[in-house]
Amino acid sequence: MILRDPPNHLKLFFVMQGSIVPRIAPLIALVAAFALIVVLLDRFLVPLPHISLAATGVFGIALSLFLGFRNNAAYERWWEARRLWGQLVADMRSIGRESDLFLEDDALRRRFLRCAILFTHLHRCNLRGTEDPEALETWSGTDHELTSLATPCAALNIANQVLCTAASINRLDGFGQKALSERLAAISLAQAGCERIRSTPLPFVYSLLVLRTTWIYCLAVPFALIDGTGFLAPVFAAVIAYVFFGLAAVTEELEHPFADGAHGLPLSAMTRTIEIALAERIGQPVPEPLKPINGVLN
């Protein structure tokens, strides 16, 4: 996620960090080159068919509707993922306070909270398809069973076993069992929501329709610009290509909210927030919050 002070309008016009221009620049250049070829052929070699601007305008409106629908769907996925992780941070802070209140055995309480922190790291790595053995080693302590955890569900299972053990030795009363088990259920629900977003992208048919329609429109619009713009047709064609290909590229970025990139959610920073909330309760040094690197917070 990009975090930076907003530049003035002139600097904003030339900012490339977080922009989709580098990604779509070859497509823009291709459309502009095609438009230039169309103009040169029409003026100096052979007259080409001229399309009405009104016809391309109607086509453009239809394409805008397709792109707008897909963009809204992608942003809804991104925003839901942000809400789920925000709820996860809140649940982890609450589970720290509730464990202080209900878990009377200090060793079990610390193991329970270690499982919570390890869950967030495993959940983050699972969503991004990465590994973080250093974090697992740091927060598992000397507990070899925690060191060998491989999935976020395994961390929640051990946390549940801790509650069962505490209840069996009368170190966790019935109300505490209910409160903490409900908190684990809420965490599991947020996990399932994130996994659903990751495993079910937008239907491919939308991407295919938008891609084909965008190319057809961008290749047809130079024939409508010949009369009105002349040799400026490549410039206008490039602007149109920037708008439509840019919207399509932004949609693809937002469609994957857990990607480790400039437009993905800062999962590492949110995981660090959870570490800060729980570290002191298990006797670990409280880490510093993660800061943006070159304006990007991961």
Global pTM reads 0.86
- Residue 281 and residue 109: Cα distance in Å, rounded? 9
Q: Is the residue at 12 inside a domain?
A: no
Contact 237, 31 (CB under 8 A): yes
**Is residue 169 classed as helix, strand or coil in its secondary structure?**
coil
Rg (CA), the chain: 27
Residue 289 resides in a domain: no
Q: How many domains does the chain have?
A: 1
In a domain, 288, yes or no: no
In a domain, 294, yes or no: no
- pLDDT tens, N- to C-terminus, the chain (298 residues): 666 666 665 665 566 666 778 888 899 999 999 999 998 888 888 888 888 777 787 778 878 887 888 888 889 999 999 999 999 999 999 999 999 999 888 999 999 999 999 999 999 999 999 888 888 888 887 878 888 888 999 999 999 999 999 999 988 888 989 999 999 999 999 999 999 999 988 888 878 888 888 898 888 888 888 887 778 889 999 999 998 898 888 888 888 899 887 778 899 999 999 999 999 888 888 888 888 777 677 7
Domain assignment of residue 3, yes or no: no
Strand partners, 293: 296
Instruction: Note whether residue 1 is domain-resident.
Output: no
Asked whether residue 255 is domain-assigned, the answer is: yes
Identify the domain containing residue 69 by its residue range: 20-282
* Helix 174-199, helix 106-128: angle, nearest 10: 10
Nearest of 19, 12, 34 to residue 223 by alpha carbon = 34
Q: Is residue 10 part of a domain?
A: no
d(CA 271, CA 143): 21
**125 in Cβ contact with 131 (< 8 Å):** yes
